[in-house]
Amino acid sequence: MSDTHAPVQAAGRMLHPELAAASDESEVKNGRRLDHAEGTSHPIRPSSAPEPQPRGARIRGNHRISQSEAANRFIAAPQHEKMHDERLWDLRQKRDRVMHRIPEWEELRSLASAIKEHTLTHLDEYLDRFEANARTNGIHVHWARDGAEHNRIVHDILLDHGAASLIKSKSMLTEECGFRDYMASVGIKVIETDLGERIQQLDNEDPSHVVVPAVHKLRTDVAQVFAKTLGTDAGNSNVHYLAEAQREATRPLILEADAGMTGANFVVAETGTFVVCTNEGNADLSANVPKLHIASIGIEKIIPRLEHLAVFVRLLSRSALGSPMTQYTSHFRGPRAGGEMHVVLVDNGRSKRLGMEEFWTSLKCIRCGACMNTCPVYRRSGGLSYGATYSGPIGLIIDPTFNRHKYSALPFSSTLNGSCTNVCPVKINIHEQIAAWRKVMAEHHELPLIKKSAMKAAGALLARPTLYRAAIASADVALNVLPHFVIYNRLNAWGKHREVPHAPRQTFHAWYRNNRGTP
């Protein structure tokens, strides 16, 4: 191996695997290393053993989650990282294409934002109206202050019906509530019916994305999970084989279940109805196969009238997956003959968030996941690196409302590039809220000491021009101050995967003094 390969090898972990094929002799031709574009024509060689799935953030009680630590492990699994980045980027591109077909797209976003802001500022009124109309429709309406109360209410309903098993569709709210763990602790069997969520349940892992919960897994990972839990052939990662095996195993459980649970994407106050959007039709199975249907719904899901729904339905799936609509948009307006329908309206921190001047508009979120798909940090980190219910940009601004200390580092897992804000269908100023959270964290002494002291030193020096000029002229002092500290600090974070910039002969300041003199 010649020395010319050294930089490529050193950077190997940062490059796509086919670019870093260090053992490939064809990389050098006629004594000259092939240029980069030619390098990409090498086929990806399947490795003999599947790459193990990188796991999410390390969670230890109330300790601060380190997203970057988990992200580094995700990046160190290049097959996973590459698939994840490309899959989600593809969703973003599909979203762009359908967005361009709607001339009134930006107007729709403004409208959706205005409807949500109006509703959130009249939340009590619309919730009362929904409750009254839902009761008229024959729906039992319950109110839950937090996750624990939600879980108890659902448990009581199940006990009343002697139900021992529950099929459910995907719901981020029940993730917030720790619902599956609670149900396991009281001996009720829960079966997820969304395929991705089912995979995650069988793997005992949280969803990594609000729309595509197992998007961080390769099919070889799914083959491993199914082999362990459903008895499939671990060496067979054919998607049709895996899907069929799962269907065979889960269908009987669905048919035998005592109760069904869904979430809701939208709740309509004037009609007392709610709407569930899915692509697999699994919510309809959950709602319609058993006689008992329980819907767990966050109080921010409400909209005033049915006509408003059209605005959101046009935005939701286009933003999420780049498809004009979800395959199923199911309206639920009351129990079937001989059945029972319950709605549990859950607060779980939403009222508190509504009172936060800088952050209340995060309640406009319709959980489309567009901000995750577009986020360059999320795509390279995997959703589980955030160690919280919500990942990606929206997670950075929602998670700290649940636990400021534990999630205090999350707002720093962003470059503040603003793409999230641009794709958000309800115009949440996500990147500005991320920046605002950083300020909150600094004010509440939640910054790591190294960062805080570096900023203090930088701030002190940058405010004193004479000291600053003296400091950057002296290498010893420069180690600790901006701009140099970023590049030359002792931990050498800059130089791990990058070369340091070439120091010029003189600064601009010196050049100006030498050539133009002092004023």
Partner 1 sequence: MKVGLFVPCYVDAFHPDVGIATLHLLERFGVEVEYPFDQTCCGQPMTNSGCHAESAATESLFVKNFQDYDYVVAPSGSCVHHVRYNLDAVAQTDAVRKVRRSTFDLVEFLHDVLKVEAFPWAEFPHRVAYHNNCNALRGLGHASMSERRAEPFSKPLDLLHKVRGIEVVQLARPDECCGFGGTFSVFEEGVSSKMGHDKVCDQSQSGAEYVVSADSSCMMHQQGCAERAGIPMKYIHIAQILNGASA
Instruction: Pick out residues in 35-64 that bind partner 1 (CB under 8 A).
Output: 35-37, 40
Which one, 337 or 449, has the nearer CB to partner 1?
449
Least distance to partner 1, CB of residue 322, Å: 13
| Binding segment toward partner 1, per CB under 8 A, in 126-134, 179-187, 358-366, 408-416 | 408-416
Is 452 in contact with 414 (CB distance < 8 Å)?
no
Q: Which of 10, 22, 159, 310 binds partner 1 (CB under 8 A)?
A: 10
Told to check if 135 binds partner 1 by CB under 8 A, we report: no
Q: Which of 230, 472, 477, 479 binds partner 1 (CB under 8 A)?
A: 472
Binding mask 360-399 for partner 1 (x = CB under 8 A): --------------x-xx--xx------------------
- What strands lie across the sheet with 140-144, from one edge to the other? 140-144, 340-346, 292-298, 259-262, 165-168, 189-192
Rg of the chain, C-alpha, whole Å = 26
Told to check if 490 binds partner 1 by CB under 8 A, we report: no
Q: CA nearest 436: which of 387, 396, 391?
A: 396
| Binding segment toward partner 1, per CB under 8 A, in 98-106, 153-161, 196-204, 351-359 | 98-106
3-class SS at 232?
coil
Pairing of β 328-332 and β 273-278: antiparallel
Q: Which helix (H) or strand (E) holds 167?
A: strand 165-168
Least distance to partner 1, CB of residue 175, Å: 24
One-letter amino acid identity for 328?
Y
| Binding segment toward partner 1, per CB under 8 A, in 245-253, 274-282, 309-317, 461-469 | 461-469
Contacts with partner 1 in 179-208 (CB under 8 A)?
none
Least distance to partner 1, CB of residue 40, Å: 7
Told to check if 97 binds partner 1 by CB under 8 A, we report: no
Least distance to partner 1, CB of residue 218, Å: 18
Alpha carbon of residue 320 to chain centroid: 12
Told to check if 106 binds partner 1 by CB under 8 A, we report: yes
Least distance to partner 1, CB of residue 443, Å: 8
Which one, 148 or 510, has the nearer CB to partner 1?
510
Q: Which of 83, 234, 442, 477 binds partner 1 (CB under 8 A)?
A: 442
Q: How many Cα neighbours within 13 Å face the side chain of 38? A: 8
Contacts of 463 (CB under 8 A, 6+ apart): none
Which one, 114 or 472, has the nearer CB to partner 1?
472
CA distance 291 to 335: 8
Give the pair of three-digit tokens for residue 396. 């950075």
CA distance 437 to 65: 15
Contacts of 243 (CB under 8 A, 6+ apart): 195
| Binding segment toward partner 1, per CB under 8 A, in 147-155, 175-183, 304-312, 407-415 | 407-415
Q: How many Cα neighbours within 13 Å face the side chain of 180? A: 20
Q: Which of 33, 64, 122, 333 binds partner 1 (CB under 8 A)?
A: 33
With CB under 8 A, what is the number of residues at the site for partner 1? 96
Which one, 8 or 477, has the nearer CB to partner 1?
8
Is 379 in contact with 84 (CB distance < 8 Å)?
yes
- Name residue 211's beta-bridge partners: none
Q: Would you call 328 exposed, middle or buried from its count of C-beta atoms within 10 A (0-12, 13-18, 19+)?
A: middle
Contacts with partner 1 in 148-167 (CB under 8 A)?
none
Q: Which of 412, 477, 479, 480 binds partner 1 (CB under 8 A)?
A: 412
Q: Which of 25, 204, 463, 476 binds partner 1 (CB under 8 A)?
A: 463
CA distance 160 to 142: 15
